Amino acid sequence: MKRLFALLATFATVLGLTAAFSPPAVAATGCKVDYTVTSQWTGGFQAGVKITNLGAPVTGWTLAFTMPAAGQKVTQGWNATWSQSGSAVTVVGVDWNRTLATGAAADVGFTGTFTGANPKPTAFTLNGVACTGSLEEPPPVPVDGTPVDVNGQLHVCGVNLCNQHNRPVQLRGMSTHGIQWFDRCYNAASLDALADDWKSDLFRIAMYVQEDGYETDPAGFTGRVNDLVDMAEDRGMYAVIDFHTLTPGDPNFNLERAKTFFASVAARNAGKKNVIYEIANEPNGVSWSAVKNYAEQVIPVIRAADPDAVVIVGTRGWSSLGVSDGSNESEVVNNPVNASNIMYAFHFYAASHKDNYRAALSRAASQLPLFVSEFGTVSATGGGAMDRTSTTAWLDLLDQLKISYANWTYSEAPESSAAFKPGTCNGSDYGSSGVLTESGALLKSRISTPDSFPTS
């Protein structure tokens, strides 16, 4: 009889008749959906949908829900295959997230349009089983103290960046442009604004090696980097020391320079809790094995002086995990750097890098500790129009996966990636709407929302 009941229940689930044949507990606890409208504008909105499987493991899933108001339409979705017929929406898992173990979750999302009201759906099914649970996660609870006060010395645990309480955290902040060109933008007023007005968790210091950078004055650039580390520390922000290799793309070209530089800054900053080392910005035109070889020579130099700090390793294809070179994250997963307490860099520019890059990040995030140490709201050239839809999709995904990020760029550079309008760095205002570009205004609005750093 038990076998017959199981067969009938399976058949009923396929037909969507779970309530007639399945025990009520299965329907009540089979799944949970958190549906959050992350942004809304006139006639349009973006929503994130987190699906948690609370029942038996599934290999292949379909989420179904009904739009509650006429005129609500899905226009573009990610991390799943989205379709809509009338008011009925169907979401089907794709290859990298189609298997959900008990307790596992998949994060998907979409942009949509609406006319009139935009109410949230209130009923969902996963493979025909009704989902229960919160339709929206509670807002984060602000914490007292600066990011460094609360989180202390960071470390890598599993695939996450974790704080002194051994809990996963996400840091959100901004990157300088090349300090050889825009050093005037990084002063007491601008860092006060970044910490207090923008409420940034981190400050990335982009020290180019070539292009009139470090190689022209090693002592001078090393000293300036250390000064900026101190300024970030004084304001309770984490400092990412970025050895900004770009041209040539093989980091081994600068191997000896890197060893000299990191031996110096690691010895000088070893007692600080706010320092993260990024050893090669964007390797390009080079194999992953060559990048790995470089990392395995530079990391021991840092560890000799500073054994506890997190190190970020650049990846192939301009730190795209190889995607920009036609590869994917598997080369890193299958051949990781032989070192502990490290993360891998992933960079994107929202107008150029979209669904296939987001898919690679989503897959990799379950296997590798990732840090988005640079991204832009515009094209990969640093110019062109800001892509608000793609940028918001990226930021929502990073938030959902608790992946830390730094935006390019906290500067007045003559490119649309810049946060400031021309002339801003000649004054003392770095936070009001009058000095911010479209990109700067969007990033400030995202970064300045309350952090939710767990402390227990």
Burial of residue 380 (CB within 10 Å: 0-12, 13-18, 19+) is middle
Q: How far apart are CA 230 and CA 237, in angstroms?
A: 10
Active site residue 282: yes
Residue 40, strand partner residues: 45
- In the set 233, 278, 282, 412, the catalytic residue is 282
Spatial neighbors of 40 by CB under 8 A, at least 6 apart, are 46, 118
Closest CA to 293 of 252, 354, 235: 252
Q: How far apart are CA 313 and CA 344, in angstroms?
A: 5
Spatial neighbors of 356 by CB under 8 A, at least 6 apart, are 323
Spatial neighbors of 252 by CB under 8 A, at least 6 apart, are 286, 290, 293, 294
Tell me if 9 sits within 8 A of 22, measured CB to CB: yes
Active site residue 374: yes
Tell me if 194 sits within 8 A of 185, measured CB to CB: no
Sign of CA pseudo-dihedral 284, 287, 288, 294: negative
Cβ neighbours around 272 below 10 Å, total = 17
- In the set 329, 331, 374, 412, the catalytic residue is 374
Where do the H-state alpha helices sit in 239-354? 255-269, 288-305, 316-319, 330-334
Specify the DSSP class assigned to residue 383: -
Phi, psi dihedrals of residue 453, rounded to the nearest 5°:
-75, 120
Spatial neighbors of 305 by CB under 8 A, at least 6 apart, are 263, 266, 267, 270
Spatial neighbors of 264 by CB under 8 A, at least 6 apart, are 222
> At residue 304, what is the residue type?
A
Residues with catalytic annotation?
282, 374
